[in-house]
């Protein structure tokens, strides 16, 4: 069955509710809230002809004879009618509602499952806080002003997007409506404050479900997303329909040149007034050059927001069921990388200083790293390599410092891969902590 969704303006319109119980009273209240003039007729008193002149009727009598009669009368007179719980006798159905006046969200499963409709409503209720009401009203006020001033539609749209991506809802949530109003007015005036800004956002290890709520919101509203090569397609699919994607992770040029170009591009876009997300795998501040970008953006006077992400350093062992710390087994951990000058010396130092060692960017260097670790820790220290953690292609190989490189090679593990070394690895295996299949918890 297909329905045509509408919102009816029932202000001062005659409506009838049939029935005597609580449900009938609720239906009448709902219609009155919308401004309707409601007549409630008890099921004993209803006579054919009573519906004459009504715009809309709700039959909540729960009386089969009344239901039949009211349906026939309404149909003959072309009046919209809903006989409660009788889909075949409904010209309209009542949706589940999320109310953030003036914002109103109606949810319908076309009568298939009222349970799903109300479960969805509960989710939306949590997602859309109370501030969405005054926020919608504020955007409405700005819209009227812009139209009065004859601002071109394209410019209006840019302003709405700026309002949506601003901190105005945070201000409203914090009970600061006057600040929110001033902020909206400033963004709408376009008075030099063009509202451009950059968010340095962590995309997590790969599984889009591991993005933070804030990251999802920012992706949905961004004008531009400049992303690394490692960011998964599933994550990029969460960008808004008008978001422009730029892959800045392409190989080829020197790293330093690339970095300077990326920073210059971020500054350029922000100065043009765009909402820009710089999306990086894992956490932006863990081997992600987030620190350098933040420093340069701030120096250029650009508004910057940093949104942490779940680093592969944490997510990869966790996705393989390997705890990084564990009572009586490991109470310290170190994270480092296998690339760059001095990295082997650093790995040796950290291996003897921390109970658990996590090594990123290990792929090509695994053999070298493992043999250095075998010298420091002995050949039998448990070790694991996790590649493509949290993604469907995830693979885990476990062994010891002596054989892990060989085992990973034989298994054909590809990048990106993370190495974990320490007694916790054996602990995870002996407890038969299998890979955590997130789909299983869906």
Ligand X SMILES: C[S@@+](CC[C@H](N)C(=O)[O-])C[C@H]1O[C@@H](n2cnc3c(N)ncnc32)[C@H](O)[C@@H]1O
Q: Which of 250, 364, 367, 437 is catalytic?
A: 250
Helices (H) and strands (E) in the chain, counts: 16, 16
- Taking phi over 0 as left and psi of -120 to 50 as alpha, with beta for the rest, 388 belongs to left
Sequence-distant (≥ 6) Cβ neighbours of residue 30 within 8 angstroms: none
Q: Which two tokens stand for residue 410?
A: 């034989």
Place of tokens 């909540």: 60
Least separation in angstroms between residue 382's CB and ligand X is 18
Segments in 62-196 forming alpha helices (H)? 64-77, 114-127, 132-148, 153-165, 168-173, 177-189
27 is catalytic: no
| Closer Cβ to ligand X, 74 or 200, answer by number | 200
**Nearest to ligand X of 183, 365 (CB atom):** 365
CB-based closest residue to ligand X: 282
Within 10 Å of residue 217's Cβ, how many Cβ atoms?
A: 18
Q: Toward ligand X, which CB reaches closer, 162 or 280?
A: 280
Q: Which is nearer to ligand X, 117 or 315 (CB)?
A: 315
Q: Which is nearer to ligand X, 61 or 232 (CB)?
A: 232
Q: d(Cα 221, Cα 195) in Å, to the nearest integer?
A: 13
If phi over 0 gives left and psi between -120 and 50 gives alpha, with beta otherwise, what is residue 32?
Answer: alpha
250 is catalytic: yes
Residue 58, C-beta contacts closer than 8 angstroms, at least 6 positions apart:
15, 16, 17, 18, 24, 27, 31, 81, 82, 84
Q: Does an H or E element contain 386, and which?
A: strand 382-387
Q: Give the nearer residue to ligand X in terms of CB position, either 162 or 289.
A: 289
Instruction: Choose among 409, 345, 404, 350: nearest CA to 374.
Output: 404
Q: For the CB of residue 168, give the shortest distance to ligand X in the complex, in Å.
A: 31
Residues with Cβ within 8 Å of 140's Cβ and at least 6 positions away in sequence, in order, are: 102
The least distance separating ligand X from the CB of residue 337, rounded to whole angstroms, comes to: 7
Furthest-apart CA pair in the chain: how many Å?
96
CB of 378 to ligand X, least distance (A): 24
Closest distance to ligand X from the beta carbon of 330 (Å) = 20
Q: How far is the CB of 109 from ligand X (least distance, A)?
A: 37
Q: Where do contacts with ligand X occur on this chain (CB under 6 A)?
A: 205-206, 230, 280-283, 286-288, 311-313, 316, 360-362, 386-391, 416-418
- The catalytic site residues sit at 228, 250
């Amino acid at each position: 069955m297909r329905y045509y969704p509408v919102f009816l303006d029932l202000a001062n319109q005659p409506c009838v509710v049939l029935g005597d119980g609580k449900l009938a009273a609720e239906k009448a209240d709902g219609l009155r809230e919308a401004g309707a003039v409601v007549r409630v007729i008890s099921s004993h008193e209803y006579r054919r002809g009573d519906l004459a002149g009504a715009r809309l009727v709700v039959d909540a009598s729960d009386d089969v004879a009344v239901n039949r009669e009211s349906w026939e009368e309404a149909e003959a007179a072309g009046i919209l009618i809903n006989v409660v719980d009788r889909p075949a006798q409904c010209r309209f159905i009542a949706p589940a509602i999320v109310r953030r006046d003036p914002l109103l969200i109606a949810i319908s499963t076309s009568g298939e499952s009222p349970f799903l409709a109300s479960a969805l409503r509960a989710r939306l209720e949590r997602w859309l806080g109370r501030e969405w009401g005054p926020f919608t009203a504020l955007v409405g006020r700005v819209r009227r002003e812009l139209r009065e001033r004859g601002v071109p539609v394209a410019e209006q749209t840019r302003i709405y997007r700026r309002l949506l991506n601003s901190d105005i809802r945070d201000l409203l949530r914090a009970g600061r409506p006057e600040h929110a109003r001033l902020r909206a007015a400033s963004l709408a005036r376009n008075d030099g404050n063009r509202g451009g800004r950059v968010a340095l956002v962590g995309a997590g290890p790969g599984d889009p479900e591991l993005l933070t709520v804030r990251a999802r919101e920012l992706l949905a509203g961004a004008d531009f997303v400049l992303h690394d090569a490692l960011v998964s397609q599933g994550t990029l699919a969460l960008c808004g329909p008008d978001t422009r994607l730029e892959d800045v992770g392409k190989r080829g040029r020197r790293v330093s040149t690339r970095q300077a170009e990326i920073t210059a591009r971020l500054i350029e876009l922000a100065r043009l007034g765009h909402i820009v997300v710089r999306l990086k795998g894992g956490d932006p501040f863990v081997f992600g050059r987030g620190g350098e970008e933040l420093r340069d953006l701030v120096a250029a006077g650009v508004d910057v927001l940093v949104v942490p992400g779940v680093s592969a350093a944490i997510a990869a062992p966790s996705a393989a069921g390997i705890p990084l710390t564990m009572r009586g087994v490991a109470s310290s951990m170190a994270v480092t990388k296998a690339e760059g000058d001095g990295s082997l010396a650093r790995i040796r130092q950290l291996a003897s200083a921390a109970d658990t060692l996590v090594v990123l960017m290990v792929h090509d260097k695994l053999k070298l790293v493992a043999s250095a670790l075998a010298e420091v820790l002995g050949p039998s220290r448990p070790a694991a390599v996790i590649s493509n953690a949290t993604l469907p292609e995830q693979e885990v190989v476990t062994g010891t410092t002596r054989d892990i490189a060989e085992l990973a090679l034989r298994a054909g593990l590809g990048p990106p891969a993370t190495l974990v070394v320490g007694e916790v690895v054996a602990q995870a295996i002996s407890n038969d902590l299998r890979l955590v299949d997130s789909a299983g918890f869906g």
